[in-house]
Amino acid sequence: MQCTEKTTTMPLLGDKFPQMTVLTTRGEMTLPDAYAGKWFVLFSHPGDFTPVCTTEFVAFQKVYDRFRALNCELIGLSVDQVSCHLKWEEWIKEKTGVEVEFPIIADTGAVAKTLGLIHPGKGTNTVRAVFIVDDKGLVRIIFYYPQELGRNMDEILRSVEGMQLSDKNKVSMPANWPNNELLGKDHVIVGPPKSVDAIKKRVAEAKEKGYACLDWWLCHKELKK
C-alpha cells in the first residue's frame, strides 16, 4: 500500500477517506478514487481461512446485490497476501457454492495502521472494522467488532440506506429505524427549530406538512424507503 498523503491519526467521521493505492484480488486500486460517485463499505477481517470470517464473506456476498442497489460497493481487507486471498476465495466457492465478487485488499500492515485496524488489546490481527464512505469520499460511519463477533449484514445495509435517506431528505433516523417502537414504522425525525420564530412556525405548520409532534423539538413524519 502506498499512501499519497501523510496520515498521523485514523480518519474520523466526516473526514476524507485517506488517499491510498492498494493491491487487491481485482488488481491495483486507488481509494477512494476508484469508487468516485459511489458509496463503499470497506471491512477488515482478522485473517483468511478462519471460521467467523468465512461466514462473513459468504454473508456479504449474498447481499452484495442489495448493496449495489444502493449505489454502494464492497471491499474487504486483511493482512494476508493476494495468493492467500485467492486460494480462500476458491475454497469458499468449492465448499459453499458462493463466489466472492468484490475485491479484497492484501495489506502489508500500512493500511491497517492508517485506518487504526490493529488494537493491541485484541492481538496483532486486524479487528473487524467497517468504514462506510459516501459518494464524495467522506467517512460517514465506523464500526468496530472484536474477533469473536461476526457482523450483521442487515445493520450495515440499514446504515447505508439510512444515511442516504438522511442526506436526501434532511431528516434523522430514530432507534431501530425503519421500525421504531415510539414513532412508528417508516417514521423519521424532522430537525428541531432553531429560533423562537421557527418554533411558532413549526407548531402552526405541523399538520399541513404531515408532522406528528410529541413536542416542538420532537416531530416526525412518515418516509417510506
Catalytic residue annotation:
53
Is there a contact between 45 and 85 (Cβ–Cβ < 8 Å)?
no
Let me know the angle formed at the C-alpha of 74 by 37 and 172, rounded to the nearest 5 degrees. 65
User: CA distances (Å), 51 to each of 46, 146, 170, 173, in order?
Assistant: 10, 14, 41, 34
Which positions ≥6 away from 145 have C-beta within 8 Å?
Answer: 127, 128, 129, 130, 151
Closest CA to 59 of 152, 160, 157, 159: 152
- Residue 179 corresponds to which cell in the numbers above? 421500525
**What number of H helices and E strands is found in the chain?**
6, 14
CA torsion sign for 213, 216, 221, 225 is negative
Helix pair angle (82-96, 51-62), 10° resolution: 70
